[in-house]
A and B are shown apart, each in its own frame.
Chain A
Amino acid sequence: MAAVRDRPISPHLTIWRWGPNMLVSILHRITGAGLSIVGLAALTWWLLAISGGTASYATFTKVASNWIGIVILIGLTWAFFQHLFSGIRHLVTDTGMGLHLRPNKLSAILTIVGSVLCTAFLWAYILGALK
């Protein structure tokens, strides 16, 4: 039986130079945590509200269509796309592809550009359809 000792933990954020790669890495965690907590809570509430009938669904739509509800939904949409795109990037790099400096940096930038553009187009469509 090996001696129990503290395993190494992640280095502190301040020793990293900011760049697209580390930004996307930490965004993957932040968006993942946000989707896990806020996103799944919203999904649970939505499904319960549907099953509850007219009154409970009205309460949900009242909050969701309020400006703060819309801000949260836009945030969740961006988190969804950011986590989706950087997740795909993770699956690609897991195979050993795209690890060289230039493609790695480019793919990191593309996930951010993609998530912002997709969120903007989607909400322009949604808010346009509501009018």
Chain B
Amino acid sequence: MSLGDSATELGKVEGIGSARRGGEDWIAERLSSVALLLLGTWFLASILFIPKLDLETVTEWLHGAGGAVPMALFVIVAFWHAVDGLKVAIDDYVIGEGNRWACNTVILFFAVAGASLCLFALGRIAFGAAS
């Protein structure tokens, strides 16, 4: 592993300095945050402006592409951003490489399961018979 030219000899020996990776994670979290800025606003506005939140109205809304597609995107990006965000907190507060890995893995499994359940539900609504 190269520490680059800026590291002093002592720094190279001790292995201190920046982690030299993780920039992609940081960019990815910003990217998903910008997407959520749009999708989250869409979600809140939709909930507010839908005439009624009864089963019939909501099913009709999510039955069409105009409701189902942004909702699927919202679900995917929200779970993705949640995993990235919780990872930042875990990496800051949980002590020990193994513990961090365990926490992050549990969160990832829950997020994938949750997102899959949401997409299954959305598929069932969108491709089922209109109520």
Q: What residues make up the interface of A, taking CB atoms closer than 8 Å to B?
A: 1-5, 7, 9-10, 29, 32-33, 35-36, 40-41, 43-44, 47-48, 50-51, 53-54, 57, 61, 80, 84, 87-88, 90-91, 94, 122, 125
**B89→A33 contact, CB < 8 A:** yes
Interface residue ranges of B106-131 to A (CB < 8 Å): 111, 114, 117-118, 120-122, 124-125, 128
Find out whether the CB atom of A2 lies under 8 angstroms from the CB atom of B1.
Answer: yes
Q: Are A36 and B85 in contact (CB under 8 A)?
A: yes
Tell me, rounded to whole Å, the shortest Cβ–Cβ distance linking B118 to chain A: 5
Which residues of A are found within 8 Å of B16, using beta-carbon distances? 5
Binding site for A on B (CB under 8 A): 1, 3, 12-16, 19, 30, 33-34, 37, 40, 44, 48, 53, 55, 58-59, 62, 71, 75, 78-79, 82, 85-86, 88-89, 92-93, 95, 111, 114, 117-118, 120-122, 124-125, 128
**A87 surroundings in chain B (CB, below 8 A):** 33, 37
Query: Are the CB atoms of B33 and A80 closer together than 8 Å?
Result: no
A3/B14 contact (C-beta < 8 A), A51-B122, A80-B44 known: yes
User: What is the bound-complex CA distance between A1 and B3, given in angstroms?
Assistant: 9
Query: Once the chains bind, are A50 and B34 in contact (CB under 8 Å)?
Result: no
Report 9 cross-chain contacts, Cβ distance below 8 Å, ordered by A residue. A2-B1, A2-B3, A29-B88, A32-B82, A47-B121, A47-B122, A50-B121, A87-B33, A88-B37
Residue of B15, B89, B114 near A41 (CB, 8 A) is B114
In the complex, are the beta carbons of B33 and A91 less than 8 A apart?
Answer: yes
Contact indicator B1/A1 (Cβ below 8 Å):
yes
Are B19 and A94 in contact, CB atoms less than 8 angstroms apart? no
**B75 and A32 contacting across the interface, CB-CB below 8 Å:** no
Residues of A within 8 A of B40 (CB): 80, 84
Once the chains bind, are B75 and A91 in contact (CB under 8 Å)?
no
Q: How far is the CB of B27 from chain A (nearest CB, A)?
A: 10
The answer to whether A50 and B75 touch across the interface, beta carbons within 8 angstroms, is no
Assess whether B124 is in contact with A51, with CB atoms less than 8 Å apart.
yes
